[in-house]
Structure 1
């Protein structure tokens, strides 16, 4: 397999994420290829997981005031502020190149090796911990995620904190109200770390990007060469950025007005799951599954369709009927059915937030 890397030292969020997705198509047309995209966002951007609600995750007014963009990515997981101090990574390759038996966990384990090696070369030992973190002495330094498409391609995402503007992160991501803010901020600072903090000096992101390239060469034993995007591929990226990542419909994935609305959340083995439910006469009129879990594309949409018109007692059977036996997520039919029951029996609310940021503690 031929491995090629691309380094994007200061890319807008829409173009960076479009490059990640376009790489899936490039690999699909050449299944002997693997593409490693390394980048740094400029300007900074809040990037939410595929199944998340931007209004719950980001303070949209604060983002606009500070010039911080907001984008939705293809992969699941939690929201994150991506700025000049973080190294973004996307690896596109055929799904058959990595075992997915047992869920996304083995994928994370196999494909995090290049980052773990690069950290080790800087004198920092990290370990992969459930469900999708690299941690140093229990403190998160990197978040990872994955996505598979209908063509059998796999996209592995990672964001490593080389450095971070912690104050800006707290300003643009939703955190608890003032009553609990101080305790939350202290917990957040203790729960995360950066490469610069660990080594006690400034580390240029471009230097760490080169170390990650070397890390994949060593950890996977591959021959990787750095390349440049040619004009045709740049056209692919621009076309995709305009069609998807600059489209407000992609960012918001549509709310549903009318009917009685409830929102409930549950922490599961696969991550936080949020059910946003519009109901009439005890039946689901419309439902959205959100959260920081991972799932193959199409599974969540199939569950949402299956639950339209369902009562609380019908929810589990309907979910089980469309949930594939070999699906990669760790959320069960019982988990979803319990949430639907809670949503249908709860009092209607105007909104509600269950934010699940990647580098901030759950709340």
Structure 2
């Protein structure tokens, strides 16, 4: 059995395994990483022998770490990345290449409907009625989207929102508030089975699931990097923020909002961005934290989105698709019972 794991921003780790009576009987680690001294590779292989095929990433990481002395240097990979590759070889995890992704890019929807579609499609992926999906959003109205655990009154100025006709909605994932203007924002959701991020912590899964869009941005001439925990940035400022939800059915919902252009003055009238929020950002102004894609690419928003889709297609197997009638019915129900209700929006007052 063979498993591979490409470390985000690092190297490829591959593991070839044989299992006898439920335990690893042969292990051979390889890849384009750097490792000194040479003998450390034999130690890593030997550490994996005898491990049960049910071993977790944490257990596998521990045994690999246990044989690495202070004089061992690992560049481009880690004990954890070896463990993830082993889990994939044992069939507990899947690779991007194991899936065909459906790309959904339909017309504008209300803010509440977008929240509902995220949940409806995630439920469908978990139920096996839909494959992993990349959904590009089109916004039907300006909005503020607050995180699942944020306080409504602490994040949004109600007078500013009313003055500018801003709809406030709450999503099912955590993270911070997003200021949305149709035509000035690029938002997408990546909905995948949990097997794709099996063994990855929340923190590592952000970088893993954002890796493709970093490649797309670099093709557009932007030196984009992942900034823990959930930001994408360039040398001139923040480009995007990501949020993630892992559903009980095993599905991972990962969505990203990017600033194509931005009305910073309106944003600051609607969002209550306090000093504590800015304290670790190295800047005193929220305007200077966000650098729009328009200024960095010089391209129309539609062209940027097409470039994103084409890059995704170039990396993975894809088909074009759409929301099914059953999924739309479920989303309609969620709008009326959850995302469109004041009780949900103000569940953390």
Partner of 1:253: 347
Q: 1:124 aligns with which of 203, 206, 222?
A: 222
Distance 2:160 2:340 in 1: 19
The equivalent of 1:347 in structure 2 is: none
Which segments of 5 or more consecutive residues in structure 1 lack a partner in the other structure? 256-363
Residue matched to 2:321:
227
Match of 2:153 in 1: 55
Partners of 1:14 and 1:71 within 8 A in 2: yes
Alignment length (residue pairs): 245
Provide, for residues 82-106 of structure 1, a one-character-per-residue CA deviation record: whole Å limited to 9, x for no partner. 12211111111111111343x2122
* Contact in 2 for aligned 1:141/1:161 (Cα 8 Å): yes
Change in 2 beyond 3 A, CA 1:6/1:142: same
The answer as to 2:263 corresponding to 1:169 is no
Q: Hey, what does 1:83 align to over in structure 2?
A: 181
1:141 — aligned with what?
Answer: 239
Post-superposition Cα deviations, 1:281-313, rounded to whole Å, max 9, x if no partner, equal: xxxxxxxxxxxxxxxxxxxxxxxxxxxxxxxxx
Aligned to 1:203: 300
Measure the CA separation in 2 of the matches of 1:170 and 1:195. Answer: 19
Aligned match of 2:285 in 178, 182, 187?
A: 187
2:310 alignment counterpart = 214
Match of 2:206 among 98, 103, 108: 108
Over aligned residues, Cα RMSD in angstroms? 2.2
The match for 2:168 is 70
Asked if structure 2 preserves the Cα contact closer than 8 Å seen for 1:139 and 1:190, the reply is: yes
Asked if the contact 2:245–2:253 (Cα under 8 Å) also holds between the matched residues in 1, the reply is: yes
Q: Which sections of structure 2, spanning at least 5 residues, go unmatched? A: 1-98
Partner residue in 1 for 2:82:
none
Identify if the C-alpha distance between structure 1 residues 253 and 32 changes in structure 2 by more than 3 Å, giving closer, same or farther.
closer
1:97 corresponds, among 179, 196, 214, to 196
SS at match of 1:112: helix
**1:271: which partner in 2?**
none
| SS across alignment from 1:28 | helix
Q: Does 1 or 2 have the higher relative contact order (CA < 8 Å, sep 6+)?
A: 1
Partner Cα separation in structure 1 for residue 249 and residue 127 of structure 2:
10
Aligned partners of 2:121 and 2:130 also within 8 Å: no
In 2, Cα distance between equivalents of 1:32 and 1:7: 15
Kindly state the Cα deviation for residue 50 of structure 1 after the two structures are TM-superposed.
0.9
2:273–2:286 contact (8 Å) kept in structure 1 = no
Residue 333 of structure 2 corresponds to residue 239 of structure 1 = yes
Q: Secondary structure at the match of 2:138?
A: strand
Q: C-alpha distance in 1, partners of 2:130/2:326?
A: 20
CA contact (8 A) 2:283 2:289 kept: no
Q: Distance in 2 between matches of 1:249 and 1:76?
A: 18
Three-state SS of the structure 1 residue aligned to 2:255 is strand
Moved more, 3-12 or 154-163: 3-12
CA distance in structure 1 between the partners assigned to 2:126 and 2:191 by the alignment: 9
